[in-house]
Structure 1
Amino acid sequence: MPDKYGVGQDSYCYPDSTVLCNKLGIRDEATLSEVERQLSMLAAESLDFSLPPYDLGYMQKIHHCLFSDLYEWAGELRTVGIAKQNTRFCQPEYMAKEADKIFKTMAAADWFEGRDRADLIVSVAEAYSELNVVHPFRDGNGRTQRILFEHLIMNAGFEISWWGIEEDQWLYANIAAYSCNLGPMEQVFENCIGQAIEP
């Protein structure tokens, strides 16, 4: 029975189900989705902003904080291949290497510090899109990556807010970026990145 990632039955789900095994024993997908959303929102409030360097381990810490109340595997890299429709994400055996290349590129760019807003939008749209293809966790990648990029953008000296971005716009931007069209993702960050933070 395929789930939203199209991997079918795997060790992360209850037998003959698309519902992820969870610490609360929830067997209904809609209920689990809502509980996950609520718990991760509460957990996000306890996350402190950190300065770079950032890396895959930093993402794992964010993921663990967001989802450890619900999933035993919170913060652990996934062990199964996943896809959404025609988008196939990085295979597990290559995730660490690919993520490391992306973080090294951002480090070499001084984490985008000193860029003006227009340059920052282009840079983070590209980095976000590349990291999204890695998709290192079985679930919760979007929330984890958005927090990472909040920290990255704030460190670069700009305000960031995801409010006002519709789910359809996110999906379209990610699908377009997978096909090497970064325009929609740049528009997302045009809408999300605010003014420079006053010193």
Structure 2
Amino acid sequence: MSDKFGEGRDPYLYPGLDIMRNRLNIRQQQRLEQAAYEMTALRAATIELGPLVRGLPHLRTIHRQLYQDIFDWAGQLREVDIYQGDTPFCHFAYIEKEGNALMQDLEEE
């Protein structure tokens, strides 16, 4: 992600760095990626499968379960726009609507 808002205004990044804020206070991208890989693998092994719950709320629950040890905001919907390089992600105001529509499309496949 890059800070398109200006120095330190992207709440998901450390000021002056292109590194996502994290509970581990890791400020090197490669170390953060490795820690996230290891910790989400451990969490994935603990996810309990039960009755199929549908929609974006279920996806948010999975995100929270996987990333809760790494990011404070795991499972929450964004409240700002973000970019990766020059590529924008979905405008934050449309995430819930578009996320639910995508989940509905997947369920119908």
For the aligned pair, the TM-score class normalised by the smaller chain equals 0.7 to 0.9
Unaligned ranges ≥5, structure 1: 110-122, 124-199
CA distance in 2 between counterparts of 1:22 and 1:6 reads: 16
CA distance in 2 between counterparts of 1:59 and 1:29 reads: 25
Shift of 1:88: 2.9
Greater share of helix residues, 1 or 2? 1
Structure exhibiting the larger radius of gyration computed from Cα positions: 1
Distance 1:87 1:21, change over 3 A: closer
Distance 1:64 1:83, change over 3 A: same
Matches within 5 A, 1:98-137: 98-107=98-107, 109=108, 123=109
The percentage of counterpart residues that share the same residue type is 28
Q: TM-score, normalised by structure 1?
A: 0.47
**Which structure ranks higher in relative contact order (CA pairs < 8 Å, sequence separation ≥ 6)?**
2
Q: TM-score, normalised by structure 2?
A: 0.81
The answer to whether structure 1 residue 19 and structure 2 residue 26 are counterparts is no
The answer to whether structure 1 residue 6 and structure 2 residue 2 are counterparts is yes
Distance 1:86 1:12, change over 3 A: closer
Give the 4+ runs in structure 1 shifted more than 4 A.
Answer: none
Q: Secondary structure at the match of 2:47?
A: coil
The answer to whether structure 1 residue 40 and structure 2 residue 36 are counterparts is no
Report the number of matched residues.
105
CA-based RMSD: 2.0
Is the 1:7–1:81 contact (alpha carbons within 8 Å) kept by the matching residues of 2? no
Matches within 5 A, 1:168-183: none
